[in-house]
Each structure stands twice: as structure tokens, then as C-alpha cells.
Amino acid sequence: MVDICKFRIPGVLIRVPLLLAIIAVILYLVLIPFYGEYPDTAKTAEMIQSTETLRTLVAKHIKNKKSLSEIDTAPYIDQNKYLSHIFLSKSGEMVLFGESFGVMLIFTPVYENNDLEWRCEGAPSEKVPYSCQNKTTLIKRKVNYYCSL
């Protein structure tokens, strides 16, 4: 009599790695588009974080009605390798450029009820963190980029 179990083992040894390879390819094809913009979004988030102290300084100048032209933005550019330019307007609006990966952010101060909130918007939207894509969400939430005066 022939033992059938001897013939089934090689088939299983071929099917399992083949099935795992197919699953790996499917996961790769599905997840790569999601990861594709992540490095640029992380760089943009780092740019936003590095300007936290600058936004606090601008808020203090606005509260004390000092001239914003006194503020030197160079140290904030030097401390972040992704931030290439910061333009600060007389009204306190900040425009940040990350030229190495092509992103622009605009922070606009909104002074309400003795509180200063920062509206944030940027382009292109796929490289901007979600918290900065819709400027109205930051005003309503007061979670991120909030500075109490």
C-alpha cells in the first residue's frame, strides 16, 4: 500500500511560501501609495514644530504692540534643515518655505478675547500635516499652535 502523506508534504512546502509572497506583494502595492508622501509630511511637521518659539515671540510682540521688524528669523532657519526661508509681515503673518521638498506654509495670527491663535494653511496639501490643511479647524479646536497671552 502507498502512503499518501509522503506526496502531500512537498505540495504544502511550495504553496505556503507562494501564498506568503502573494500576500507580501499585495501589501506592498497597497501600502506604498500611503507611505509615499509620509517623509515630506514628517519634514513639514518638523518645520512647524521648529517655529513654535518664533510664533510665541511674535505673539508677545503683538501683545506688547512692538514692531515685528525687530525679530530675527535667521536662528529659526538655521535650527531646521528643511526650512529654507521665513518671511514675517508687519501684521505677524509668517510664510515658511521648505524648498528642498517643495512646501509652503502660511501662519496667520488671529487675536480674539485676549488669546492669539494661529491659522495654518499650506501647499501642496499632500505634503502638509492634517492639522494644518484646513485653517478653520485650528481656530475652532485651539489644540495645536495655540499661544495664550
pLDDT 10s digits, 30-78: 877 766 667 888 888 888 888 888 888 888 888 887 888 888 877 777 7
- Asked whether residue 13 falls in the same domain as residue 47, the answer is no
User: Does position 147 have pLDDT exceeding 50, yes or no?
Assistant: no
> Does 30 lie in the same domain as 42?
no
Beta strands 94-98 and 115-123, pairing class: unpaired
Judge if pTM exceeds 0.75: no
Do 47 and 17 lie in one domain? The reply is: no
Residue 130 lies in domain: 37-148
Is the same domain home to 31 and 99?
no
Do 86 and 143 lie in one domain? The reply is yes
- Statement to judge: residues 16 and 81 lie in one domain: no
Grid coordinates standing for 118?
A: 494661529
Strand, helix or coil at 122? strand
